[in-house]
Amino acid sequence: MEFDPSVLLPAPSVRQRILEILQAALTAVDPGAAVRRALHREADILLVGDRRYDLHSYRRVVVLGAGKAGAPMAQAVESVLGERISGGLVVVKTDHSGPTQRVRVVEASHPTPDEAGVAAGREILALAADAGPDDLVIALISGGGSALLVAPAEGLTLADLQGLTAALLACGATINEMNCLRKHCSAVKGGQLARVVAPTTLITLVLSDVIGSPLDVIASGPTVPDSSTWADAWALVEKYDLVEKLPGAVLARLQAGLRGEIPDTPDAHDPLFLASQTVVIADNFLAAQAAKGRAEELGYKGLILTTFLDGDAANAGRLLVALAKEVQASGNPVAAPACLILGGETTVQLGSNPGMGGRNQEVALAAALALRDVPGVTVVSLATDGTDGPTDSAGAMADDGTVDRGALLGLSASDHLRRHDAYPYLVASRDLLRTGPTQTNVNDLLFVFVEKR
């Protein structure tokens, strides 16, 4: 993929180096390459981590999956197993498809589920139920799978799940919290796909888009044990004051679960996972390491500060500028020219009438306001999937000229930030990052570049 060249205009030499570093991070977490690193075939022996699978022992190999990276992951599995694959289905986000030979790829809506996701969920559950004890199922899981793999629990409809999603997106819940509630309103999430597959042998390959890579949170963990409970789900309803905002059927289901009337999702003690192996094939830290390596090749002193960043996006933007000021003032935590790298996922709590943007754009615009009198610093916030919020942006940059470039066009950075309307401002200031779909997804990467003065 390539970045839109318009972002280079404010500072071509500096920004060209930055784009090379961002590209290195995305290349390192290419889903196809990650799958091929995880799967090794020697004649009829499939090697996955420390386990060996004799393909002669299996009647069929079936591939199932969900997530934004599903198409290149399926292509890579086909390149390894070829004719041994009997078929399968992977559901991906709209415009994230790709050509395959044996595994069918279908598209659905993200982040709000739609009928296509329901149809995909229904078919994947049917394929899982059809798998027998002498079959091998390979599940390909990546970020976005929570919205794409849809199977409303008994008593719920797609409209109920859409209402749940809208309420969660608006309240500022973290992805861990969102997926806790999603799992308890689904017939496929939270280990329930594995429940249908069992006792068939199951291999799950995971491209992680969640801080710390908790397996039961990534795509809502359809094939792994669930650590959350009905009580956890209801606690989130109370935490975010959602009683008046969730569909009635969702509230009724959660309350029935609390009363013990509905079984909980399978946990780590459930024997159904005995024939299951799960491998994380790429994550945020791998991307951060690649960015650090390329930054150092280009003359920066690189430092990964954390891959566990969360919290409010605007606050994160101001934090990044504070880090830059410290580098300039004291040379800590590393002297300029410096490239500080943070990974994770921030949140935005929307008001009643928000504008257009995404969390990474909000990080950049908040940073821009703090950078107005701080020359020699560029802050970058990148969504590794190429999609930041409901926009065509992958995030944005900000430097000491971002506010002035907008002001020359009659725009107020502080007003756009207040209204969560970063997108039109950053288009005008020529700070928006565009990549198109990257077909990977390992959270966000945030950077502080401090040039030597």
List the chain domain ranges: 5-27+285-450, 31-151+186-228+265-282
Quickly tell me which residue has 């150092």 as its tokens. 296
Q: Is 218 exposed, middle or buried (0-12, 13-18, 19+ CB in 10 A)?
A: buried
Question: What is d(CA 288, CA 285) in angstroms, rounded to the nearest whole number?
Answer: 5
**pLDDT digit string, tens, across residues 362-376:** 999 999 999 999 999
Share of the chain above pLDDT 70, in %: 100
Q: CB neighbours of 44 closer than 8 A, spacing ≥ 6? A: 54, 55, 56
Residue 226 has phi, psi (to 5 degrees) of -100, 130
- For strands 301-309 and 135-142, give the pairing: unpaired
Q: Answer for the pair 144, 110: CB distance below 8 angstroms, yes or no.
A: yes
- For strands 444-450 and 377-383, give the pairing: antiparallel
Average pLDDT (117-135) is: 97
Give the pair of three-digit tokens for residue 451. Answer: 């040039």
Average pLDDT (124-139) is: 97
Question: What is d(CA 229, CA 267) in angstroms, rounded to the nearest whole number?
Answer: 9
Handedness of CA 109, 145, 161, 392 (dihedral sign): negative
Question: What is d(CA 189, CA 178) in angstroms, rounded to the nearest whole number?
Answer: 12
Q: Answer for the pair 291, 21: CB distance below 8 angstroms, yes or no.
A: yes
Average pLDDT (209-213) is: 91
- For strands 301-309 and 60-66, give the pairing: unpaired
**Range 31-151+186-228+265-282 classified under CATH 3.40.50.10180:** yes
Q: How confident is the model at residue 2 (pLDDT cuts 50, 70, 90)?
A: confident
Average pLDDT (346-357) is: 88
Domain 5-27+285-450 CATH class label: alpha beta
Average pLDDT, the chain: 95
The residues pairing with 302 across neighbouring beta strands, listed in sequence order, are: 339
The residues pairing with 54 across neighbouring beta strands, listed in sequence order, are: 45
Q: What is the Cα Rg of the chain in Å? A: 22
User: CA nearest 139: which of 282, 274, 29, 277?
Assistant: 277
Query: Which one-letter amino acid corresponds to residue 105?
Result: V
Give CA separation, 382 vs 146, 311, 344, 434, in Å. Answer: 21, 16, 10, 10
Give the pair of three-digit tokens for residue 349. Answer: 């709590």
Q: What is the pLDDT of residue 349?
A: 86
Give the pair of three-digit tokens for residue 407. Answer: 């002001």
Question: What is d(CA 222, CA 273) in angstroms, rounded to the nearest whole number?
Answer: 12
Q: Answer for the pair 434, 3: CB distance below 8 angstroms, yes or no.
A: yes
Question: What is d(CA 221, CA 68) in angstroms, rounded to the nearest whole number?
Answer: 15
Q: How confident is the model at residue 74 (pLDDT cuts 50, 70, 90)?
A: very high
Give CA separation, 90 vs 93, 106, 119, 203, in Å. Answer: 10, 6, 12, 15
- Asked if residue 1 has pLDDT above 70, the reply is no
**pLDDT digit string, tens, across residues 181-194:** 999 999 999 999 99
Q: What is the pLDDT of residue 353?
A: 84
Average pLDDT (92-103) is: 94
User: CA nearest 295: which of 341, 339, 343?
Assistant: 339
Query: Is the omega angle on the peptide bond into residue 5 within 30 degrees of 0, that is, cis?
Result: no
Q: How many beta carbons lie within 10 A of that of residue 27, not counting itself?
A: 15
- Asked if residue 115 has pLDDT above 70, the reply is yes
**pLDDT digit string, tens, across residues 391-439:** 999 999 999 999 999 999 999 999 999 999 999 999 999 999 999 989 8
User: CA nearest 81: which of 111, 42, 113?
Assistant: 42
Q: How confident is the model at residue 6 (pLDDT cuts 50, 70, 90)?
A: confident
Question: What is d(CA 331, CA 349) in angstroms, rounded to the nearest whole number?
Answer: 34
Q: How confident is the model at residue 148 (pLDDT cuts 50, 70, 90)?
A: very high
Q: What is the pLDDT of residue 445?
A: 98
Q: Answer for the pair 392, 323: CB distance below 8 angstroms, yes or no.
A: no
**pLDDT digit string, tens, across residues 274-290:** 989 999 999 999 999 99
Q: Give the number of C-alpha atoms closer than 13 A to the C-alpha of residue 1, restricted to the C-beta side.
A: 25
pLDDT: which is higher, 352 or 365: 365
**pLDDT digit string, tens, across residues 287-331:** 999 999 999 999 999 999 999 999 999 999 999 999 999 999 999
Q: Answer for the pair 408, 67: CB distance below 8 angstroms, yes or no.
A: no
